[in-house]
Every structure is written in structure tokens, then in C-alpha cells.
Amino acid sequence: MKKLFLLFLVSYSVQGISQELDYQPKILLVTAHPDDDALFSVTVWKTTKLLGGIVDLALMTNGEGGYKYSTLGNYVYGKELDQEETGRDYLPGIRKKELMAGGDVVGIRNYFFFDQQDFYYTQDVEETLEKWDTPPILERLTSIIEKEKYDFVFMMLPFNGNHGHHNVATIMALQAIESMDPDNRPIALPSWNKREGQEGLDFEMLEGYPITKVLPNVIFEFDRNQKFGFDDRLDYNIITNWVIAEHKSQGTMQLLMQGGRVEQYWYAEINGTDGLDKTRQFFEVINAAQPD
């Protein structure tokens, strides 16, 4: 059945509409691999650069499994990174630096590294849950979220067929949030990108993991194709390109993000409905905020 998405946001094309938040937005990104955060890059950039907000990142794996895509990185780093042994040795260090260089572009403040092994590509959630130290991850993630008092947590949409590491990173984030006192929880927003003008993913939950349920018919977006600047020659895909370009040991994300993209944010059912107004207001401001 085709789903009609009720879009709560309004896309402002007129400059000068004054929209402000009465708080400093604070966001945690929870991702599996060092380039996954490119998904949220422009909402993050606007939050830190235009709204005076704070964004931190919790990274689950050490990224060593990316050696398969390091053929061009060999020439950048002068090492045979695409050979498994060399890649697994050097990529954890290299990819942390790349992550932080990309993070500088969008203003990420702080990083929490969980250093789980990026063992290999699998869609198997249970295998990933078993291979990672999941109880300590959950404990540390919960304590970070409790201490920092984030307004929102962004994570990758855990759809069937997505990488098991991506889906487990999101499950960990949702479990951490669900374990907290409901009055102090941040709002969990699973995210994906779609091409401009195309339909987004039809997502309800990851099969077998009801914690991943989202509210039906609720989706918030930011369209990176919004134009601005001299003669309207600029758009926000530029920022995403800058972030991805820092990941020179990799490359596939660059191809995935080609063409204009729209950032989409679902609303996790575990949030209850109390956070809907706050989320709606946040994305109205994100859409309205423009560089001078």
C-alpha cells in the first residue's frame, strides 16, 4: 500500500522570515561507520553554524572493514590500504582523522569512539549484536545521553536490507533512549536521504525489532537543493560534498550522494507524541535558516 507522507514542515523560500528557537539545540549522532554522518550533514551544519547549536557524534565501529574501497586511498596515503591486513591495521586511525576533518566542516564538537570491530558486511543484525560488546555499548551510550541532555538523537533508518552494523547502531541508540526516564529522553529521529523529486523509503520498522517502529505518516525533511547565494548559484549539496571529500580512504559514499538529495527524518514511536511539536518547530527553523 502506498503511504501518504504528511509533511509537517514548511519550506521557506522567502528570506527574512524570522524563526528562532528559544533554546540552543543539542544533538547526538549515533552512527556505525566514519562516513555515515554525511546523511545528516546539512541539518548538522545549519544547527551549529546558523542556530548556535551543539552536535556530538558517537561512532560504533573502527571502520577497518572499509579496506575494500581503499583502492584510490592507496595513492593518498602511500600504503596498500585495499589489502586486508594493511587496511585493517591502518584504517582505524586514518578514518578517525577523516571523520574529524569532515566533522570540522559541519562543526561537530565532540566524538565518542566505541571502537567495535568493523568485521565485514552483513545484513545479519543478530550476528552484529553478538560480535559487538553490546552491554557495555548500551551502558556507555546511555550514560553519555543522560549526562549531555541532548534534544535530539539522529541515527540511520534501520530498514530491511541495510547493513547490519547500521541497523545495530540504531538499535543501540533506541535501546539507550528507551532505558531512560521518559521525562528526560531526547527525541530519536532515524534518517535517510532521497533523491529530489523521488519517493522516499516506505518504512514502518525493521522486521523483528519493534523498538525501531516509527510513527506512521510523519516525516520531516530538509531539501539540500534549496538555492541561495549570488544568482542562486549555490545549494546545500555543496556542504555534503565537502564532508564526503574528507573520506579519501573511501569513495562509495561520494557515488551514493551524487545528484541532489533531501534529508528525511522519521519520528521513533518510543518518543511518544509529546516531542512532535518540538521536532516540527526545529525543522521549520532548519528550513528557514539561511546563510547571510
Q: Return d(Cα 18, Cα 205) in angstroms, integer.
A: 36
At its nearest, how many Å lie between Zn ion and the CB of residue 66? Answer: 8
Number of H helices, E strands in the chain: 9, 10
Is residue 118 close enough to count as binding Zn ion by CB under 5 A? no
Helix (H) or strand (E) holding 234: strand 234-235
Quick one: 88 or 185, whose CB is closer to Zn ion? 88
At its nearest, how many Å lie between Zn ion and the CB of residue 141? Answer: 18
Quick one: 36 or 151, whose CB is closer to Zn ion? 36
At its nearest, how many Å lie between Zn ion and the CB of residue 8? Answer: 28
Quick one: 33 or 247, whose CB is closer to Zn ion? 33
3-state secondary structure of 215: strand
At its nearest, how many Å lie between Zn ion and the CB of residue 221? Answer: 21
**Which stretch, 36-44, 109-117, 122-130, 256-264, contacts Zn ion (CB under 5 A)?**
36-44
> What one-character-per-residue DSSP string does 79-122 give?
S-TTSHHHHHHHHHHHHHHHHHHHHHHHT--EEEEEEE------
At its nearest, how many Å lie between Zn ion and the CB of residue 43? Answer: 18
The residue within the footprint of Zn ion, chosen from 33, 185, 247, 261 (CB under 5 A), is 33
**Which stretch, 35-43, 91-99, 261-269, 275-283, contacts Zn ion (CB under 5 A)?**
35-43
Burial (CB < 10 A; 0-12, 13-18, 19+), residue 52, is exposed
Quick one: 53 or 66, whose CB is closer to Zn ion? 66
Is residue 36 close enough to count as binding Zn ion by CB under 5 A? yes
At its nearest, how many Å lie between Zn ion and the CB of residue 292? Answer: 34
| CA distances in angstroms from 122 to 118, 160, 179, 227, 275, listed in the order given | 10, 12, 27, 38, 34
Produce one character per residue of 212-236: b if its CB has 16 or more CB atoms within 10 Å, e if not.
bbbeeebbbbbbbebeeeeeeeebb
Quick one: 33 or 79, whose CB is closer to Zn ion? 33
Q: Which residue is nearest to Zn ion (CB)?
A: 33
Is residue 269 close enough to count as binding Zn ion by CB under 5 A? no
Q: Count the residues of the shown chain that bind Zn ion, applying the rule CB under 5 A.
A: 2
Helix (H) or strand (E) holding 174: helix 164-178
Determine how many CB atoms are found less than 10 A away from the CB of residue 187.
Answer: 23
Quick one: 36 or 56, whose CB is closer to Zn ion? 36
At its nearest, how many Å lie between Zn ion and the CB of residue 170? Answer: 11
Quick one: 118 or 269, whose CB is closer to Zn ion? 118
Degrees, nearest 5: CA angle 179-271-218: 150
- Residue 98 gets the label, from left (phi > 0), alpha (psi -120 to 50) or beta, of alpha
Q: Which residues bind Zn ion (CB under 5 A)?
A: 33, 36
